[in-house]
Amino acid sequence: MSSALKVAVVTGSNKGIGFAIVEHLCKQLGSSWAVYVTSRDEARGADALSQLKQRGVEPRFHQLDIDSQESVDRLAAYLKGTYGGLDILVNNAGIAYKGDSTAPFAEQAEVTIATNFWSTLRICDALFPLLRPHARVVHLCSSVSDMALNKASPELQKKLTQPMSLDEVKQLMSDFVARAKAGTVQEAGWPQTAYGVSKVGVRLMTYAQAREVKGDDIVINCCCPGYVDTDMSSHKGPKTIYEGADTPVYLATLPPGIKEPIGEHLYERKVVPWAVKPDFKFVAMASALKVAVVTGSNKGIGFAIVEQLCKQLGSSWAVYVTSRDKARGADALRQLKERGAEPRFHQLDIDSQESVDRLAAYLKGTYGGLDILVNNAAIAYKGDSTAPFAEQAEVTIATNFWSTLRICDALFPLLRPHARVVHLCSSVSDMALNKASPELQKKLTQPMSLDEVKQLMSDFVARAKAGTVQEAGWPQTAYGVSKVGVRLMTYAQARDVKGDDIVINCCCPGYVDTDMTSHKGPKTIYEGADTPVYLATLPPGVKQPIGEHLYERKVVPWAVKPGFTIA
Catalytically active residues, by annotation: 195
- Please return the burial class of 107, using the count of CB atoms within 10 Å of its CB with bins 0-12, 13-18 and 19+: middle
140-151 exposure pattern, b = at least 16 Cβ within 10 A, e = fewer: bbbbbbbbbbbb
Beta bridge partners of 340: none
SS3 category, 15 = coil
Taking alpha carbons only, the member of 378, 392, 381, 395 closest to residue 487 is 378
Angle at 315 between CA 312 and CA 320, to 5 degrees: 75
**What length is written for the chain?**
567
- Residue 269 CA, chain-centre distance (Å), reads 15
The helix or strand, by DSSP H or E, that contains position 293, with its residue range, turns out to be strand 290-294
SS3 category, 384 = coil
- Sign of the CA dihedral 19, 25, 26, 28? positive
d(CA 323, CA 316): 23
- Please return the burial class of 294, using the count of CB atoms within 10 Å of its CB with bins 0-12, 13-18 and 19+: buried
Q: With contact defined as beta carbons under 8 Å apart, do 360 and 295 qualify?
A: no
- Sign of the CA dihedral 134, 9, 128, 91? positive
